[in-house]
Structure 1
Amino acid sequence: MKAAVLKSFGSPLAIEEAADPVLGTGEVIVDVIATRVLSYMNEVFSGARNYALDLPIIPGPGGIGRVRAIGPDATKLSVGDWVFCDPTVRSRDDAAAPDIALQGLTAPGAGAMRLQQHFRHGSFAEQMRVPTENVKRLGTIASEDATRWCALGTLLVPYGGFLAASLQPGETVLVSGATGNFGSAAVSVALAMGAACVVAPGRNDKILADLVRRFGDRVKPVKLSGNEDHDRESMKRAAPGPIDCVLDIMPPSVSTNVVRAAIMTVRPNGRVVLMGGVGMAGGAGLELPYPWIMRNCISIHGVWMYPPDAASRLIALVRAGLLRLEEYEATAFDLDHANEAVAHAAANGGPFKLTVIRP
């Protein structure tokens, strides 16, 4: 099969022939039709993000494809099924605290690296081998629609955060980082889950206005000034009532003051979900007042990715018409132009934009 291979950090992907994956028990072979290129893939490949990858490797976190072969433990899948390949691979021998690797992207920790050494290669290839439980049926789709279905990989991340927070229909949500790629996805997911209102703070007037244009007056934009106390009060005033849940999905480059201002808008007995990058690039960590957390009974959830059943549940939201993949503008490249796709993703990583490789 043809594949894009990362042989060393800082070098371009090599487009070459690789061995076809070999099916084992508990595994599925999928023909990759479309796969998302993350906006920061160039930083992963350069080594700047310091992601744990045992090279050489075929990168690519998940994707959309059709089942080529199934193992003896698959009872619902059939050859030819359209599927989403979930990149979040979990060890199977400790359900309470599994090791987790992101197939084709990173493996933090010794246990996760052992997973990567087996489920080694990702989706920048014509075929990939995936754990059976990570293959989620989509139902019938047209081949050209596979490109936009790649948005599932982005939408799933904030969806996992809202599931952890037990977001309920009719609640008011604040998305800290609403003008980013994952943050704008969080706005759409919260509304699809029935949020009555989403407070969307940010500094980019154009993107804030676009969120309102897309989703209507259930989105309450707030222009941030950079003053922590002022911004906190502005966000509270924008909400029609108490803020039930705050999701932080800010990137590593953002000041902790901005993150803290948003978190501390939540009501007493409210929930906070931390999914962002504070402290990941060095610098100060996030400081929150112990008395405020304790006296206001604030629940704080640290969430990385999402539970195993999240993809199937999110697919159901799309199929019901509650979550619109049509919001996404996609640009597709073939596998021979994988390096151009990585460069394009880095330059075009805004809200509701997708860069996709179609092997």
Structure 2
Amino acid sequence: MKAALLRTFGSPLAIETMPDPVLGTGEVVVDVVASSVLPYMDEVLSGERGYLLQLPLVPGIGAIGRLRAVGPDATRLAVGDWVFCDPTVRSRDDARTPDITLQGLSARGDGGLRLQRHFRHGPFAEQMLIPTENAIPIGPIDAADAGRWCGLGPLLVPYGGLLAAEFQAGETLLVSGATGYFGSGAVQVALAMGAGCVVAPGRNEKVLDDLVRRFGPRVRPVRLTGDQDEDRERMRRAAPGPIDCVLDLLPPGAGPAPVRAAAMTVREFGRVVLMGGVGMRGGDDLHLPYAWLMRNSVTVRGQWMYPAVAGARLTTLIRSGLLDLAEFDVAEFGLDEANEAVAHAAADGGPFRTTVIRPDQR
């Protein structure tokens, strides 16, 4: 098969011929039709992000494809099925605290690196080998729509945060980082889940206006000033009532101040879910006041990625018509253009803008 291979950090992807994946028990082989390119994939490939990766490696994160082969333990999947290749690979020998690797992107700790030795290569290739449980059926689609279905990726991450928050229909959500790649997806998913209101703070007024244009008056935009106290009051005033839940998806470069301002808008007995990057590149950590947390009975929890069931549940939201993938603008590149695709994603990434690699394009 043909694949785009990263041999050393900072080098261009090399388009090479590799052996086809060999099927084993508990695994499936997928013919990749479309694969997402993250807006920050260039930072991963350069080594700037410091992700744990064993090279050489075929990168990528998530894909839409068709099953080429299934193992003997698969009872419902069949050759030819359309699937989403969930990149969150979990070890099977400790259900309580599994080691995790994001196939084609990064590993979490030493255990994740051991897992990565087998499920290493991502979807910038004509085929990929994934665990059986990571092949999420999406039902029949037109092959031309495979790139748009890659929108599952930026939607699944915030969906994981909303599931962690036990978010309920009718509640008010504040999305910290609403103008970003994942934050804008959080706005869309929350509304599909029945949010009564989504408070969307940010500094990019053009994106804020676009969120209102796309999703209507349940989105309450807030232009941030950089002053924590002023911003906190602006966010509170934008909501029609108490803010039930805050979901933070700000990137590492944002720093702790805007995260703290957003978190402290939540009501008494409210929930705060942290999924962003505060402190991941050094600098100050997030310091929330002990007395405020205790006296207001605020629940704060971290959430990395999403539970295993999330892919199937999000697919039902899409199939029901509650979540519309037509919001995504898709730019497509062939596998031979993998380096161009990475550069395009970095330059043109953002809310509802998806870059994909399609190995079937020449």
| TM-score, normalization by structure 2 | 0.99
Residue aligning to 2:17: 17
Q: Does 1:55 align with 2:55?
A: yes
2:327 matched to 1:327? yes
CA drift at 1:108: 2.2
Counterpart of 1:282 in structure 2 is: 282
Distance 2:17 2:257 in 1: 49
Residue 248 of structure 1 is matched in structure 2 by: 248
Matches within 5 A, 1:1-359: 1-359=1-359
Give per-residue Cα distances to partners, 1:290-341, cap 9 Å, x unaligned: 0111111111110000000000000000000001100000000000000000
- Once the two structures are TM-superposed, the CA of residue 134 in structure 1 deviates from its matched residue by 0.4
Percentage of identical aligned residues: 69
The answer as to whether partners of 2:255 and 2:279 remain within 8 angstroms in 1 is no
Deviations 1:164-223 (A, max 9, x none): 000000000000000001000000000001100000000111110000000000000000
> Secondary structure in 1 aligned to 2:107?
coil
Distance in structure 2 (CA, Å) of the matches to 1:62 and 1:209: 30
* Residues 20-78 of structure 1, C-alpha deviations (whole Å, 9 max, x = no match): 00000000000000000000000000000001110000111120000000001100000
Structure 2: distance between partners of 1:180 and 1:122: 24
Query: 3-state DSSP class of the match of 2:136?
Result: strand
Q: In structure 1, what residue type is equivalent to 2:335?
A: L
> Per-residue displacement from partner, 1:84-104 (whole Å, max 9, x unpaired)?
000000000110100110000
Which amino acid is the alignment partner of residue 96 of structure 1? R
Kept after mapping to 1: 8 A contact 2:172/2:243: yes
Deviation at 1:255?
A: 2.6
Q: Please give the alpha-carbon distance, in whole angstroms, between the structure 1 residues aligned to 2:200 and 2:178.
A: 5
Unaligned runs of 5+ in 1: none
How many angstroms does 1:285 deviate by?
0.4
Q: Give the secondary-structure state (helix, strand or coil) at the position aligned to 2:175.
A: strand
The secondary structure found in structure 2 opposite 1:253 is helix
Tell me how far apart the structure 1 counterparts of residues 132 and 201 of structure 2 sit (CA, whole Å): 40
User: Over aligned residues, Cα RMSD in angstroms?
Assistant: 0.5
How many residues of Structure 1 are paired with residues of Structure 2 in the alignment?
Answer: 359
Summarize deviations over 1:119-145 as a string: whole Å, max 9, x none.
Answer: 111100000000000001011000000
- In 1, the alpha carbon distance for the partners of 2:340 and 2:257 equals 36
> Which structure 1 residue ranges, 4+ long, deviate > 6 Å from structure 2?
none
Give the counterpart letter for 1:28 in structure 2.
V
Partner AA of 1:326 in structure 2 = A
TM-score by length of 1: 1.00
Deviations 1:257-296 (A, max 9, x none): 1110000000000000000000011101000000111111
The one-letter code matched in structure 2 to 1:182 is: F
The C-alpha deviation readout for 1:209-250, integer Å capped at 9, x for no partner, is: 000000000000000011000100110000000000000000
State the AA in 1 paired with 2:145: D
Distance 2:110 2:252 in 1: 24
Return the offset for 1:256.
1.2
- What do residues 148-178 of structure 1 show as CA deviations (whole Å, max 9, x unaligned)? 0001011000000000000000000000000
Distance 1:289 1:126 in 2: 51
Query: For residues 212 and 120 of structure 1, what CA distance do their matches in structure 2 show?
Result: 40
Structure 2 spans left out of the alignment, 5+ residues:
none
Whether contact under 8 Å (2:27, 2:132) holds in the other structure is yes
Q: What letter is aligned with 1:30?
A: V
Q: What CA distance in whole angstroms lies between the structure 2 residues aligned with 1:172 and 1:237?
A: 13
2-side partners of 1:26 and 1:234: how far apart?
51
Distance 1:168 1:122 in 2: 34
Helix, strand or coil: the match of 1:178?
coil
